[in-house]
């Protein structure tokens, strides 16, 4: 874990020479220092034709001593006033309401967030693009595509090509190296990070650092052969791009193929769904009668209907117990941003619980590769979360050694979809802490089908889903993530929580609790998105409710048809863990919520993207004023982790760059503590224009996408020809479409 400076030791504004030094690659090799000018280009860039709003002007003119709501209190010496121009990146661009616009993909309700095109256009684009569409980056491929029969072999011993004569790919290694690919990179010291770490490289000749693990040798007959190096005692690289060191939870191609061909029997789901259909039909009849107000309905009729209900055909298996507590800050599920390398970085910095990006239930059931790829995790996510024995918040039978950090999050609009997805996940993916049901995703395409936040208005369906998932998930507990409600004025979460903890009024006695092991509540409504602060007093009310259910659960178990303890997640102790979520930006926020809101722990989303060392702050209980070079060090780590996960070939590099740029579109919003007039910093504050304590800090504050590309080039070299990047403030069509 990197050492941070306590805020009291914040550095003085650095000289230009310091800045140049800090611009060097943190590892001391290669990097941007060849230009030494990385901070410079920002100053030269053309101005954005961008309307400044009234409020921008006002903020900039206001005295730095006054605290202006929503504006980060940057010390006067770092402020750039109007007219004092040309020296700093335009970090004013788009910053107004940026949290809203960046995080939600919604137009932020003022012109700043949509300088190009109208909201209407934005909406249309969104429709055209569909769910989970990200900005287009162009194709990143080699000019000549090298056949895998050649990729992993020495020059004179290629493997036989499966396609023989028909193969259109390149089989001439020397030609490929000469004209089929871009030159080797000299970033990262010119050394392949994978080879350095693991003694083998999974990208073979396609590696953009292949020079560092290949050579030409002279054979006895005088012929020269190009060979790939491999450390002794290291198993040979495979051709399977899924087999990467340190990566777990890889579903096999066979599994996905079988799903796609509907060859996977969903025994548990099918059986349960049949029962559920009958159950739903009977419930419908009962309700209809009640609705019609058939007073003449005889007790006997009701009794007769009731008698037709039968017990479910399957009981849930005993669940692995989990734990959430003060020592387990949670990294939120984050579409796109919560990718494997980012989570790995957060775990290294102290995140104790992680989630996959939200996977859609249907494509999982259909075996779609992209969705299953979201389940890949890093082995560091398999370690148990931190836990101090002796805690009273632990459920009976909790075994920390069996616990792990990584859980899956899924969405779906029908019980059968999420049940089958859960059954498939728990069968084909070996390491899951939980399967979490997304009941918060606000985007239209999800909401309108009834999934995501659509479930907030269909409590009975939600209950069926969780109950069903719990039946088919084997030992893996089921959890749910909610928002306060769909609309601001209608707060439904508390009722949903009651249902998830105890069951609906008509099911609780008969069927027991649905078996939800934990509930996360994001303290905002769907309608509200990020426009207002999260409602922590409502979160606290819900926390109190959950506590009170423990007693109710105790009473229930005294009744004749109480829940069967062994089959319910954590019910032996009547404990449903409760996690609060929204606006946590420091250890101070974190501890405040844990101590005063009654939540077991806090989930962190944007705070972790803007400053991933928030987890380290929580662990140390202190603000950390990370220097710009430390921050660049995290970026380098991300890059290395990205290359490990996606490969060092052109494709892997492209992915790494793409996800890095997405992340950098958040990191620039970090305002270094040392330049703040006073604490605490707030996630919702936007910075006025400022310059950093050195050029690198100034660069990292730039919200100009060209600077983000520049940063990516420090580690990944020049962008691929044809590389496209639409900055968010230029393309309102881009944006994270899915969040909950
Ligand atoms: C870019 C982005 C992607 C998100 N993706 C998901 C997601 O896939 N699933 C989910 O449940 N929530 C998602 N969320 C919501 C967050 O998990 C979290 O509930 C929300 O941002 C509030 O927390 P915060 O105030 O700490 O940011 C996303 C949020 C953002 C900003
Ligand atoms: Zn071939
Ligand atoms: Zn390599």
Q: Which helix (DSSP H) or strand (DSSP E) does residue 581 occupy?
A: strand 577-581
**374-409 per-position pLDDT tens digit:** 999 999 999 999 999 887 778 888 999 999 999 999
Percentage, residues of the chain above pLDDT 90:
62
Q: How much is the pLDDT for 57?
A: 37
pLDDT over threshold 80, residue 696? yes
Half-sphere CA count of 698, side-chain side, radius 13 A: 29
Distance CA 430, CA 416 (A): 22
**182-208 per-position pLDDT tens digit:** 999 999 999 999 999 999 898 999 999
Contact 395, 570 (CB under 8 A): yes
pLDDT over threshold 70, residue 677? yes
More confident residue, 129 or 625: 625
**565-577 per-position pLDDT tens digit:** 544 555 556 689 9
Q: Six-digit token pair at 192?
A: 């392949």
* Chain centroid to CA 416: 25
pLDDT over threshold 90, residue 364? yes
pTM of the model: 0.84
458 conformational bin, left if phi > 0, alpha if psi -120 to 50, beta if neither: beta
Does the beta carbon of 582 sit less than 6 angstroms from any atom of ligand 1? yes
Average pLDDT of every residue of the chain: 81
Contact 473, 428 (CB under 8 A): no
Residue closest via CA to ligand 1's atom 14 equals 739
Residue closest via CA to ligand 1's atom 21 equals 605
Does the beta carbon of 80 sit less than 6 angstroms from any atom of ligand 1? no
Q: Which ligand has the nearest atom to the CA of 195?
A: 3
The contacts of residue 622 (CB under 8 Å, 6+ apart) are: 6, 7, 587
| Neighbouring-strand partners of residue 446 | none
Q: Which ligand has the nearest atom to the CA of 193?
A: 3
Ligand 2 center from residue 161 Cα (angstroms): 4
Radius of gyration of the chain (CA): 28
Ligand 1 center from residue 645 Cα (angstroms): 23
- Which residues are part of the catalytic machinery? 441
Q: How much is the pLDDT for 20?
A: 30
Q: How much is the pLDDT for 564?
A: 54
Ligand 3 center from residue 208 Cα (angstroms): 7
Does the beta carbon of 356 sit less than 6 angstroms from any atom of ligand 1? no
The Cβ of residue 487 has, within 10 Å, a number of other Cβ atoms equal to: 14
Q: How much is the pLDDT for 514?
A: 93
**43-101 per-position pLDDT tens digit:** 332 322 233 333 333 333 444 455 677 889 999 999 987 655 444 444 433 333 333 33
Contact 32, 25 (CB under 8 A): yes
Residue closest via CA to ligand 1's atom 26 equals 605
Closest CA to 599 of 519, 517, 479: 519
Contact 74, 692 (CB under 8 A): no
Does the beta carbon of 738 sit less than 6 angstroms from any atom of ligand 1? yes
Does the beta carbon of 334 sit less than 6 angstroms from any atom of ligand 1? yes
Peptide bond into 154 cis (omega under 30): no
Please give the number of the atom of ligand 1 that sits closest to the Cα of 332.
17
Does the beta carbon of 653 sit less than 6 angstroms from any atom of ligand 1? no
Query: Stretch 643-658: mean pLDDT, rounded?
Result: 95
Q: How much is the pLDDT for 297?
A: 59
Report which listed range, 2-6, 90-94, 348-352, 668-672, is most confident.
348-352
Residue closest via CA to ligand 1's atom 23 equals 582
Does the beta carbon of 440 sit less than 6 angstroms from any atom of ligand 1? yes
Distance CA 640, CA 647 (A): 10
The contacts of residue 121 (CB under 8 Å, 6+ apart) are: 732, 733
Ligand 1 center from residue 609 Cα (angstroms): 10
| Neighbouring-strand partners of residue 224 | 218
Ligand 1 center from residue 524 Cα (angstroms): 11
In degrees and rounded to multiples of 5, residue 253 shows phi and psi of -60, -35
Please give the number of the atom of ligand 1 that sits closest to the Cα of 522.
19
């Amino acid at each position: 874990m990197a050492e941070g400076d306590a805020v009291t030791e914040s550095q003085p504004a650095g000289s230009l020479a310091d800045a140049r030094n800090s611009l060097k690659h943190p590892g001391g090799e290669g990097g941007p220092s060849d230009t030494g000018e990385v901070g410079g280009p920002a100053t030269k860039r053309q101005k954005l034709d961008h309307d400044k709003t009234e409020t921008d002007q006002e903020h900039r003119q206001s005295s730095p001593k006054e605290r202006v709501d929503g504006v980060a209190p940057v010390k006067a010496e770092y402020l750039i006033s109007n007219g004092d121009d040309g020296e700093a990146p335009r970090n004013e661009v788009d910053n107004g309401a940026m949290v809203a616009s960046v995080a939600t993909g919604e137009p932020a309700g003022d012109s700043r967030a949509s300088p190009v095109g109208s909201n209407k256009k934005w909406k249309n684009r969104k429709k055209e693009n569909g769910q989970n569409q990200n900005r287009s980056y162009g194709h990143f491929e080699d000019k000549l595509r090298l056949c895998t029969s050649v990729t992993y072999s020495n020059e004179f011993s290629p493997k036989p090509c499966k396609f023989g004569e028909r193969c259109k790919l390149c089989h001439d290694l020397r030609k490929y190296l000469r004209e089929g690919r871009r030159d080797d990179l000299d970033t990262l010291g010119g050394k392949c990070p994978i080879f350095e770490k693991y003694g083998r490289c999974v990208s073979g000749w396609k590696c953009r650092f292949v020079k560092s693990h290949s050579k030409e040798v002279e054979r006895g007959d005088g012929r020269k052969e190009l060979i790939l190096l491999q450390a002794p005692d290291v198993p040979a690289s495979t051709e399977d791009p899924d087999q990467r060191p340190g990566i777990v939870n890889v579903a096999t191609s066979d599994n996905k193929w079988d799903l796609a061909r509907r060859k996977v029997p969903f025994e548990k789901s099918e059986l349960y769904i049949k029962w559920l259909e009958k159950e739903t039909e009977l419930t419908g009849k009962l309700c209809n009668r009640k609705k019609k107000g058939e007073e003449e309905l005889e007790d006997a009729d009701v009794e007769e209907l009731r008698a037709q209900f039968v017990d479910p055909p399957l009981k849930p298996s005993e669940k692995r117990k989990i734990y959430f507590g003060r020592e387990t800050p949670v990294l939120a599920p984050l579409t796109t941003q919560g990718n494997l390398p980012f989570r790995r970085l957060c775990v290294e910095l102290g995140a104790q619980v992680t989630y996959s990006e939200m996977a859609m239930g249907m494509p999982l059931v259909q075996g779609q590769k992209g969705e299953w790829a979201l389940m890949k995790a890093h082995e560091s996510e398999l370690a148990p979360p931190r836990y101090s024995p002796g805690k009273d918040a632990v459920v009976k039978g909790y075994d920390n050694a069996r616990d792990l950090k990584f859980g899956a999050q899924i969405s779906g609009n029908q019980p059968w979809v999420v049940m089958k997805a859960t059954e498939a996940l728990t069968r084909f993916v070996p390491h899951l802490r939980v399967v979490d049901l997304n009941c918060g995703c606000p985007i239209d395409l999800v909401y309108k089908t009834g999934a995501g936040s659509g479930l907030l208005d269909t409590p009975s369906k939600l209950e069926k889903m969780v109950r069903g998932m719990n039946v088919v998930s084997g030992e893996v507990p089921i959890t749910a993530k909610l928002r306060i409600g769909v609309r601001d004025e209608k707060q439904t979460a508390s009722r949903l929580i009651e249902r998830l903890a105890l069951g609906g009024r008509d099911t609780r006695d008969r069927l027991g609790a649905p078996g939800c092991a934990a509930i996360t509540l994001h303290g905002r409504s769907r309608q509200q998105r990020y426009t207002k602060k999260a409602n922590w007093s409502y979160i606290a009310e819900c926390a109190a409710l959950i506590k009170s259910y423990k007693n109710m659960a105790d009473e229930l178990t005294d009744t004749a048809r109480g829940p069967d303890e062994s089959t319910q997640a954590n019910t032996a102790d009547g404990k449903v863990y409760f996690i609060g979520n929204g606006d946590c930006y420091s250890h101070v926020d974190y501890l405040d919520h844990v101590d005063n809101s009654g939540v077991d722990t806090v989930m962190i989303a944007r705070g972790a993207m803007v400053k991933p060392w928030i987890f380290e702050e929580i662990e140390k209980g202190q603000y950390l004023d990370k220097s710009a070079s430390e921050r660049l060090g995290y970026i380098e780590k991300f890059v290395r982790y990205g290359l490990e996960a996606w490969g060092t070939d052109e494709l892997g590099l492209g992915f790494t760059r793409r996800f890095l740029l997405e992340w950098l579109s958040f990191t620039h919003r970090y305002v270094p503590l040392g330049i703040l007039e006073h604490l605490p910093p707030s996630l919702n504050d936007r910075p006025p224009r400022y310059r950093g304590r050195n050029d690198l800090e100034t660069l990292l504050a730039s919200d100009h996408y060209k600077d983000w590309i520049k940063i990516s080039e420090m580690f990944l070299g020049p962008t691929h020809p044809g590389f496209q990047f639409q900055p968010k403030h230029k393309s309102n069509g881009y944006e994270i479409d899915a969040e909950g």
